[in-house]
Amino acid sequence: MNALPVTTARAVLALALGLTATGCVETRDLGSTIPHGLLPVDERNPVILANDSATDNWQGEYAILLASGGGPKLAGIIVNTSGPWPDIDANINGWRGMVAAAHASGMRDIPDPITSIGPALVRPADGRFASTVPNGSEGARLILDMSARLSVPYRPLVVVTGGRLTDVADAYLIDPSVSGRIVVVSSMGTVTATGGAMGKPNGEMDPWADAIVTASLPFVQVSAFYDQLTDVPASRVSELPANPFGDWIAAKEPNVWSISQAADQVGVIAVGVAAFAVAVERVAATSTVGPGASAGPDLTAAANGPAWLVTQSMGGAATARFWQILSDPATYTR
């Protein structure tokens, strides 16, 4: 018997090609990620830090320690100004000193801070976000660049702010598609009877930016502050590691503000320590920001609201994690 007739082979080939051409791709869902806490992001998300001064709270120290102790990875540090901290040179020098101490102590994967110059955004006469003139600041550019490089659909970049939201809103004005790549977590405002207010601390610094961010970007407001003097009390200074980073903390300890609302670190802790945020509400921005406003929009509780409001926190969990990482020799080898 000879080979299959050529016509038969051609028919089979045509059938196979035909089936292939008409065949579709069947999709199978094989798993999903569950956030480790009550927020939509956790220690697995990379973060960018944005703040003004480096001296009044422990935000930078927490971010650096968490980055060296299991996450979140610190992808950038944006240093800007605010009413209480208008001197950009003083601000950036403070952050540079902190990062230099970290590097000198062996913490390698900590980025150098950059300055971001730009005033608070100005509400346009027509009240439309799109009519706002962007600053085009360095901080906004860094957010756009890092979000393009690091963000993936299941794990967006988190921008953690401890000051005004100007750079974040500026990034959105430059490229609105950034809304699909970042989540904004801000230590800001207060808890109210109906939800939250975007006033002091930090919310009053750029109300129009607050309005743009809450309306356009995934947003988490952390309004659950704690007594940050318990993080490094004077009685524990002697327990600090004998390295430049320990020396930095010891030198800073007397200057940390005693008011709890200054504890900008609550934002980065809410991302990096799952046990910290113990009560979270879904909220939506329900008011507009008019000309000359002194605060951002009100956040009203809504079951399916687009934003999250952290209303209660566990400061003890934060402090325990802080010292655990600080005391671990492995912290200073990565």
Partner 1 sequence: VFSCLGLTAPKAIEVIAGRARPFVCCVGVVWISLVGAAQAKPLTVNLAYTAGPGCPSATEFKAVVAGRLGYDPFADNAPDRVLVELVPRGGSMDGRLEWRDASGGWAGEQMFPMVTTDCARLARGVGFALAVQIQLLATVRAEPEPVAGPPPAAPSASSAPAPPRPAASVVPAAPAAPAAPSLVVTAPLPHRRGPGPQLALGFGPALGVGMSASPTLLGRLFGVLAWTRLSIELAAQTSLPTTMRRPDGSGFSQQHLLLGAAGCALFTVLTACLVANAGEVRMAGVDIDRPTSAVAPVIQAGARLGAVQRLGHRVVLGAHVDGLVAVTRWRGTLDGVPVWTAPRFAAVMAIDAAVRFP
Q: Which residues bind partner 1 (CB under 8 A)?
A: 1-4, 9, 12-13, 15-17, 19-20, 23-34, 44, 152-155
Q: How far is the CB of 45 from partner 1 (least distance, A)?
A: 10
Nearer to partner 1, 9 or 122 (CB): 9
List Cβ neighbours of 291 (8 Å cut-off, separation of 6 or more): 123
Peptide bond into 72 cis (omega under 30): yes
- Nearest alpha-carbon partner for 195 in 270, 256, 118, 284: 284
Q: How far is the CB of 39 from partner 1 (least distance, A)?
A: 15
- Taken in order 328, 151, 266, 59, the sign of the CA dihedral is positive
Q: What SS3 state is found at 116?
A: coil
How many angstroms from the chain centroid is the CA of residue 234?
Answer: 29
Nearer to partner 1, 25 or 303 (CB): 25
Nearer to partner 1, 14 or 320 (CB): 14
For the chain, the first-to-last Cα distance in angstroms comes to: 71
Judge contact between 194 and 300, C-beta under 8 A. yes
Peptide bond into 86 cis (omega under 30): no
Nearer to partner 1, 24 or 303 (CB): 24
Q: How far is the CB of 154 from partner 1 (least distance, A)?
A: 4
Nearer to partner 1, 32 or 304 (CB): 32
Q: How far is the CB of 217 from partner 1 (least distance, A)?
A: 20
Q: What angle do CA 162, 188, 185 make, to 5 degrees?
A: 65
Nearer to partner 1, 16 or 122 (CB): 16
Burial of 88 (C-beta count, 10 Å sphere; 0-12/13-18/19+): middle
Q: How far is the CB of 270 from partner 1 (least distance, A)?
A: 19
Q: How far is the CB of 34 from partner 1 (least distance, A)?
A: 4
